[in-house]
Structures are given as structure tokens and as C-alpha cells.
Structure 1
């Protein structure tokens, strides 16, 4: 399969428009969109670099919204294809030391669910995939304290892909799917806890001194 590469900083304000223009100029027909790019940081919010937080919001929220807005008209016109948004299990949970990242993923879940509702019956399939810790090198730039994020069982990228493909093949896929049995269990069980208990539990899990 031929591969076309367009090198862009997706956190830049004009990135989505630039990518759409580049694709159009090359005469490419886009049938599907996967919003996968993201960045995170692992630190107390009070100690975080404001510039880094702005980049997280730009890449994790603004970019997928703008990319979807740019490519959705063509996808709707074709009447088939899919939009897959990469969320995270942390989008369902408070994540101390990753407050902004988990909030961006909660946004992605809500955004995707709304799109799923709006686009039903159009022929487009829309859903979010919510993985937990995955062996992608995502935490490599976060410093030694972030090792706590991968201290337990870590999923492989191909596991996440398999989950997405299996969900895509469903007759009527739900607006979101959580990757990994342990992640599904954690999210499900915390729904039965008071939010303050869930926050306290996640604080212990994310404590780098534990």
C-alpha cells in the first residue's frame, strides 16, 4: 500500500487546514480519519509548565476537533468510512499529576459520543478507543516519576489496534470501547464508588513514591 507523508506540527493553529490543503493538492481521497496524536506530562498541576499545558490542549483537543472539522464534509459526502478518536481510560477517571491530560481525554470521549449521535444513519462509523498504559514510549519524556504509569501490566500497540478493528467490525459499534480487560474492570468498578473515593484511589496509584 502506498504511503503519503505530510510532516506537520499538529499543535500549530493552522495545522489542520494545512494538512487538508496538502491532501487536496495531491489529489488524495480521504476515506477515514484516525486522531491519534497526543502528548502528556506527569507533574503536580501547580508545578507544571504553562507552555507545556497549552501544547497538551492544542494537540490533544484543538487538533482532533479541527482535523475532524476539516475532513468530515468529504467523509459525509462519500457516505462511508470511519472516524476513530484515541481517548484514554484516564478520560473516565481523575488522574492526579496528569490533570490536564486526563481532562483532554474526557473531552475526547464526550466529543466522540456527540459525533456518534449526530452522524448515525450517515454511513460513517464514529467511535473512541480508550487504552490504558501502552508500550509506545509515550512516557519517555516525562521524567523518572512517570515510571509509575507503566509499573503494572502494559498493553502492546497491536493489542489496541486489534481492539479498535474488532469494534469497527461490529454491526452497530458503541461510541467508545475500552482496551484491555483490566482497564475495563477498573473503569467499571470505579463507577460504583463515590467520586472522592475514586480520586483518592487514583492518587495512590499515581503516587511516584509508592
Structure 2
């Protein structure tokens, strides 16, 4: 797995990621996080490693709340992010698991990994650009299940109280839910309600 991690590091560090073993993190100037990790798969053996490449993204505001509420470390892991996905091999054949076979095939997998990861990470890094992120959530594209949470946290960060309340009401957000209350509290601390 060390050779895979080294290949990932060679691709990710030029984008600004900090490497910590099999975990790579990039933090924006606003405090948002992009996290990539190398996860060994069940059935992986040293002669034939099988693994996943996981990617996570979280906003500073959500991470700040998660850290406080769940007593988490200073920097997130992929599984703690608001949005998660996997980098799939080519051809994916419906699976997101990578596999290295011994011999010359291993070098081909490493080359494919570098090519695919380099292509994909450019798109992931764009999530740290707030203009791009706002456009993405306004169009309800690209973040699947996490789109509504990212949109709500962005509204809260910008102090857009009325829009946040309207949005949360449209999502049938329950009063008293700690997550929604944290969004509301942040919005009120950043702006004023016009009502």
C-alpha cells in the first residue's frame, strides 16, 4: 500500500494537500476542508492490494459544529465530512475498488491511478472556491445528498436569516434539532433578519 500512497502523494501535494500517511488534507483560506484517503479493502493482501480512494468535503461552519458537538479532532477524516465520494478506476465496471496485480500490471494500475486522480482532484479542489460552490448548490448539481446541507450552511455563514428559515421550512426541518439550531444560531450571529 505504501507504493499506492506514494503515488497519491505525488499527485495531491502539488495541489497543496498535506500528507499524513494514507490521509491527505487541503484546507482553504476560509477553513473549508477537502480530504482524500487510501482505504484498504477487505481481502487485500500485500502481494495483491485492493483499496478504495475516498474523498470528502466539508465547510468550516459544519466542521466547527461537528468538532464541538461530537468532540472530534482538529482536522476531519473523510468519513466526518459533509459530502463523500470515491475515485473510481478505469474502467470502473460498476466497482469503486482498485486492485493491483503483481508484475507489469501493477505499474499500469499506478499510472492509471495517477491519471484518474489528477483528473478528478482538479474538480474536487474547485469545491473550495465559494463562487463555484454557490453556483453548484444553487443549481442543485454535483453534491447529491449533501447539496441541501451545503446550501443551508452557506446561507447561515452569510447571515441570510430569512432565506435560511424559508429553506429549512421547505425541507421540513424540525425545531430543536441540534444541527438546524446550529445553522440558525450562526445565521443570526452573522446577519439580521429583515422581518
Shorter chain as denominator, the TM-score bin is under 0.3
More strand by share: 2
TM norm structure 2: 0.26
Using CA pairs under 8 Å that are at least 6 residues apart, name the structure with larger relative contact order, 1 or 2.
1
Larger radius of gyration: 2
